[in-house]
């Protein structure tokens, strides 16, 4: 059995405890919105409790109470998330244990544990957001945590010096960060994309549509994707009226909900390009669905995707990371002229016993117009124009016969109401039709010329199939609210109806600020978050590594890191040899006394040195005592205490003057 003495960690000082508490607050605060409300409240109360104990210099709670709180908290997390495995339960457990650790923090060793947990908790912030603001908050947390680590190692370290030292260490880490960022093999997809909880908290188009589903998206300012046009539309965008971004196509209707139909996918276009081409690049935000968005109709298929038989682009796997792809579209393409009979039959199906009034009206039009399908389409659009239909974000709730109630009773709806009513009437009249969802329009950022398409631009329109012409886009909303298609959503709403905040005239200054922020965020997304495996391969190819394998990457990475370490080593040696003016003066003082037979021993401090030599001075040397004592006192003050720059300059001048007088004295 070892008889080695047990190492006891020093107790925390009040200053160290205060720094740890401040670090804990800064690290935890950004995570609070992502935790369950009860857990955020509990951890906040624990931190307030610790703050009160620190303020009152009171005793920490007993360990048995902390054990009870640990088991209760873990049980609550397991109950809330139905388990303890996954991203969200893991972060919740870490936050709980981090907060409880503050209540048993007694020694410096406990402080080191809190700092380590703080670094891990800071890292988890990137699980939920990776934007510029989140990166800035995370950097501030890392800087304060590092400064706290300095205080734990040197409790007498002034606050300003600790922060400067932390900043210096972070600056020294920047070159390593850049080398690792550029050369470390990129992983496609987030490392934290764990099952179940990785798909939560995202908004966007769904694979189904019910009355009101798209109008809910219209209140969201979240960005769906960005488009950067080239060629003819460099720095601008095509007319708003042609900006239809095709998404899920809904062919099945059960009387209430429109759903995806049966499709097959291919890597080849099911139509031939026609007309003028529009070239652009899309930067798609992650939405955990397979939809890829492109202007109608796409003439290229991204490497990451396929095209469905209903002309929608689909990714080969759900879009879990920001995706950038080049596109070409031809707005004048004719598609589906030779459509498969099975698809046309599906586009005519209607559930029985639903919406009898709409069926009767459609059958009446068919009887009046005979085989004139174009006439029936015009009749339906005229019906929308001539009746008192209102385009609104807050339509009333509809019952089982939703189309009847909308067309003949409420006459208030959003784009999904108008498109669903139109498609139902077409099918009832024997014309194949389907609902297309996606986005319409977008907002051109004048700062960088990028078109920003937000969730508030979500839209639904219709497609009808006519013999000899194929599928034609018909937007019934344009019949009721043409300004929605020609301009934007805000201008199409009735006077007095609530608009998105930044669409209000009084907030135009805020809109300009958002333009600048969006432009900066786009640069961040393209060059930082968008640095994916493909871009890394392109960069390495430009650097002379067309097909790097892991051995070459490891060698290059090791070489660059070795060069950086060598550079830092040389710099450290140079700075170690470079002495401060105070140390230079002290060394001169020591040499002068050494020539008089009073050398300084390597281990002696200034006061011990002065006490020894003044006791051994001869009668002739006794006149030097005052200067020696004053030089030693000034050196100690300049070296070991804080002084203002002006005072330090005066003291150094006094020290040098006294040393010069000592040098002029005869031995």
91-95, 537-541, 629-633: range with lowest mean pLDDT: 537-541
Taking only the tens place, the pLDDT of each residue in 214-246 is 767 666 778 899 999 998 888 888 888 889 999
Q: Which residues are catalytic?
A: 415, 459, 475
Q: Are 413 and 483 in contact (CB under 8 A)?
A: no
Share of the chain above pLDDT 70, in %: 89
130-134, 330-334, 413-417, 520-524: range with lowest mean pLDDT: 520-524
User: Which is nearest to 457 in space by CA: 243, 605, 279, 176?
Assistant: 243
What's the sign of the alpha-carbon dihedral 32, 37, 39, 45? Answer: positive
192-201, 311-320, 363-372: range with lowest mean pLDDT: 192-201
Give dist(CA 251, CA 261) in Å, integer.
5
pLDDT class of 648 with cuts at 50, 70, 90: confident
Whole-model pTM over 0.75: no
The per-residue pLDDT for 576 is 60
Q: Are 307 and 313 in contact (CB under 8 A)?
A: yes
- Give a yes or no: residue 259 inside a domain: no
Residue 498 pLDDT greater than 70, yes or no: no
The CB density around residue 138, as the number of other CB atoms within 10 Å, is 19
Residue 77 pLDDT greater than 50, yes or no: yes
DSSP element (H, E) containing 342: helix 341-346
Q: Whole domain around residue 617: which residue ranges? A: 581-664
Calculate the average pLDDT of the chain.
Answer: 84
Taking only the tens place, the pLDDT of each residue in 95-126 is 999 999 999 888 989 999 999 999 999 989 88
The per-residue pLDDT for 621 is 66
Q: Are 503 and 492 in contact (CB under 8 A)?
A: no
The per-residue pLDDT for 558 is 86
- Give a yes or no: residue 632 inside a domain: yes
- 468, exposed or middle or buried, with CB in 10 Å at 0-12, 13-18, 19+? exposed
Q: Which contacts (CB < 8 Å, 24+ apart) does range 376-383 have?
A: 376/426, 376/429, 376/431, 377/426, 377/431, 377/464, 377/474, 380/422, 380/425, 380/426, 380/476, 381/474, 381/476, 381/479, 383/407
Locate 513 and state its tokens: 């600020």
Q: Are 358 and 407 in contact (CB under 8 A)?
A: yes
Give dist(CA 237, CA 214) in Å, integer.
24
Taking only the tens place, the pLDDT of each residue in 425-453 is 999 999 999 999 999 988 888 888 899 99
Same-domain pairing of 594 and 567: no
**Phi, psi for residue 623 in degrees, rounded to 5:** -70, -15
Average pLDDT (585-593) is 87
Same-domain pairing of 555 and 656: no
Taking only the tens place, the pLDDT of each residue in 198-217 is 333 445 788 888 877 776 76
Average pLDDT (370-385) is 93
Give dist(CA 493, CA 218) in Å, integer.
12
pLDDT class of 473 with cuts at 50, 70, 90: very high
Residue 667 pLDDT greater than 70, yes or no: no
Give dist(CA 632, CA 438) in Å, integer.
80
Q: 94-127 in b/e burial notation, b at 16+ Cβ within 10 A?
A: bbbbbbbbbbebeebebbbebbebbeebbebbeb
**Phi, psi for residue 461 in degrees, rounded to 5:** -140, -175
The per-residue pLDDT for 626 is 83
Domain boundary among 148, 183, 218: 183
102-111, 121-130, 250-259, 479-488: range with lowest mean pLDDT: 479-488
- Give a yes or no: residue 623 inside a domain: yes
Same-domain pairing of 552 and 638: no
DSSP element (H, E) containing 566: helix 550-577
**Phi, psi for residue 238 in degrees, rounded to 5:** -60, 170
Non-local CB neighbours of 433 within 8 Å, separated by 6+ positions: 347, 422, 423, 426, 427, 462, 463, 464, 465
Q: Are 408 and 324 in contact (CB under 8 A)?
A: no
- Give a yes or no: residue 496 inside a domain: no
pLDDT class of 404 with cuts at 50, 70, 90: very high
The per-residue pLDDT for 9 is 67
Give the strand pairing for 450-454 and 223-230.
antiparallel
- Give a yes or no: residue 304 inside a domain: no
Domain boundary among 183, 213, 240: 183
pLDDT class of 554 with cuts at 50, 70, 90: confident
- Give a yes or no: residue 469 inside a domain: no
Enumerate helices (H) and strands (E) in the chain, giving the number of each: 23, 18
34-38, 154-158, 313-317, 324-328: range with lowest mean pLDDT: 154-158
Q: What is the number of domains present in the chain? A: 3
Q: Are 289 and 311 in contact (CB under 8 A)?
A: no
Same-domain pairing of 594 and 557: no
Same-domain pairing of 568 and 643: no
Average pLDDT (269-292) is 90
DSSP element (H, E) containing 542: helix 533-542
Same-domain pairing of 561 and 611: no
Same-domain pairing of 45 and 63: yes
Same-domain pairing of 136 and 103: yes
- Give a yes or no: residue 631 inside a domain: yes
Residue 657 pLDDT greater than 70, yes or no: yes
The per-residue pLDDT for 231 is 86
How is residue 502 annotated by DSSP?
G
Q: Which residue has the higher pLDDT, 119 or 545?
A: 119
pLDDT class of 195 with cuts at 50, 70, 90: very low
Residue 85 pLDDT greater than 70, yes or no: yes
Non-local CB neighbours of 108 within 8 Å, separated by 6+ positions: 9, 10, 11, 12, 16, 152
Same-domain pairing of 138 and 125: yes
Give dist(CA 578, CA 26) in Å, integer.
38
Give dist(CA 305, CA 439) in Å, integer.
19
pLDDT class of 569 with cuts at 50, 70, 90: confident
User: Which is nearest to 503 in space by CA: 447, 460, 454?
Assistant: 454
What's the sign of the alpha-carbon dihedral 197, 202, 208, 210? Answer: positive
Give dist(CA 226, CA 560) in Å, integer.
35
The position carrying tokens 């912030």 is: 125
The per-residue pLDDT for 1 is 42
Same-domain pairing of 547 and 605: no
Give dist(CA 219, CA 493) in Å, integer.
13
Give dist(CA 108, CA 312) in Å, integer.
60
Same-domain pairing of 569 and 593: no
- Give a yes or no: residue 88 inside a domain: yes
Domain boundary among 159, 183, 207: 183
User: Which is nearest to 260 in space by CA: 334, 320, 347?
Assistant: 347
Q: Are 628 and 597 in contact (CB under 8 A)?
A: no
- Strands (E) in 254-343, as ranges, are 258-260, 265-266, 278-284, 291-292, 294-295, 305-308, 313-315, 323-329
What's the sign of the alpha-carbon dihedral 398, 399, 404, 405? Answer: negative
The per-residue pLDDT for 503 is 53
Same-domain pairing of 573 and 595: no
17-26, 198-207, 617-626: range with lowest mean pLDDT: 198-207
User: Which is nearest to 666 in space by CA: 614, 625, 623?
Assistant: 623
Give the strand pairing for 412-413 and 390-391.
parallel
CA angle, corner 464, sides to 460 and 465, nearest 5?
150
């Amino acid at each position: 059995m070892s008889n080695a003495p047990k190492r006891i960690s020093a107790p925390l000082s009040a200053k160290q405890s205060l720094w740890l508490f401040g670090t804990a607050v800064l690290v935890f605060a950004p995570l609070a919105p992502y935790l369950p409300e009860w857990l955020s409240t509990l951890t906040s109360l624990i931190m307030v409790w610790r703050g009160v104990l620190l303020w009152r210099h009171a005793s920490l709670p007993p360990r048995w109470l902390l054990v009870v709180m640990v088991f209760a908290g873990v049980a609550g997390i397991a109950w809330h998330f139905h388990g303890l495995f996954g991203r969200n339960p893991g972060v919740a457990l870490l936050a709980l244990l981090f907060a409880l650790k503050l209540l048993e923090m007694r020694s410096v060793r406990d402080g080191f544990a809190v700092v380590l947990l703080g670094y891990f908790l800071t890292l988890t912030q990137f699980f939920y957001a990776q934007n510029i603001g989140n990166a800035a908050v995370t950097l501030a947390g890392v800087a304060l945590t590092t400064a706290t680590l300095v205080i734990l190692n040197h409790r007498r370290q002034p606050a300003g010096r600790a922060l400067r030292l932390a900043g210096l260490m972070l600056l020294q880490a920047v070159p390593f960060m850049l080398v690792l960022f550029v050369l470390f093999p990129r992983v496609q997809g987030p490392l934290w994309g764990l099952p179940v909880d990785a798909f939560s908290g995202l908004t966007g188009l769904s694979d189904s549509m019910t009355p009101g589903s798209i109008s809910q998206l219209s209140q969201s300012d979240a960005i769906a994707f960005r488009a950067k046009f080239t060629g003819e539309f460099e720095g601008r965008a095509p007319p708003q009226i042609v900006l239809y971004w095709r998404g899920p196509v809904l062919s099945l209707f059960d009387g209430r909900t429109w759903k995806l139909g049966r499709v097959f996918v291919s890597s080849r276009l099911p139509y031939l390009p026609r007309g003028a081409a529009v070239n652009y690049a899309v930067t798609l935000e992650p939405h955990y669905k397979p939809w890829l968005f492109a202007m109608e109709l796409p003439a290229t298929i991204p490497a990451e995707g396929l095209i469905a038989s209903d002309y929608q682009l689909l990714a080969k796997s759900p879009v879990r990371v920001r995706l950038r792809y080049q596109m070409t579209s031809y707005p004048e393409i004719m598609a589906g002229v030779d459509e498969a009979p099975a698809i046309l039959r599906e586009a005519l199906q209607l559930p029985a016993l639903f919406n009898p009034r709409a069926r009767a009206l459609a059958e009446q039009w068919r009887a009046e117009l005979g085989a004139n399908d174009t006439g029936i389409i015009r009749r339906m659009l005229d019906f929308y124009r001539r009746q008192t239909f209102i385009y609104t974000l807050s339509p009333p709730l509809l019952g089982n016969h939703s189309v009847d109630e909308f067309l003949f009773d409420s006459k208030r709806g959003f784009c999904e109401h108008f498109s669903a009513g139109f498609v139902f009437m077409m099918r009832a009249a024997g014309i194949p039709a389907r609902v297309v969802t996606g986005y319409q329009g977008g907002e051109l950022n004048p700062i960088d010329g990028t078109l920003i398409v937000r969730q508030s631009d979500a839209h639904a329109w219709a497609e009808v199939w006519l013999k000899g012409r194929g599928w034609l886009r018909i937007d019934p909303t344009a019949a009721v609210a043409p300004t929605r298609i020609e301009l934007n959503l805000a201008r199409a709403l009735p006077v007095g109806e609530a608009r998105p905040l930044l669409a209000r005239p009084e907030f135009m200054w805020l809109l300009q600020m958002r333009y600048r922020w969006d432009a900066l965020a786009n640069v961040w997304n393209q060059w930082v978050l968008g640095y994916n495996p493909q871009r890394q391969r392109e960069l390495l190819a430009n650097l002379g590594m067309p097909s790097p394998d892991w051995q070459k990457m490891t060698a290059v990475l090791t070489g660059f890191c070795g060069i950086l370490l060598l550079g830092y080593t040389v710099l450290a040696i140079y700075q170690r040899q470079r002495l401060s003016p105070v140390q230079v003066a002290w060394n001169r003082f020591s040499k002068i006394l050494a020539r008089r037979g009073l050398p300084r021993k390597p281990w002696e401090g200034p006061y011990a040195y002065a006490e020894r030599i003044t006791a051994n001075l001869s009668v002739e040397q006794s006149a030097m005592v005052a200067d020696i004592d004053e030089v030693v006192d000034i050196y100690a003050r300049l070296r070991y205490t804080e002084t203002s720059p002006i005072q330090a300059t005066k003291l150094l001048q006094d020290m040098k003057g006294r040393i010069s007088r000592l040098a002029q004295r005869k031995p």
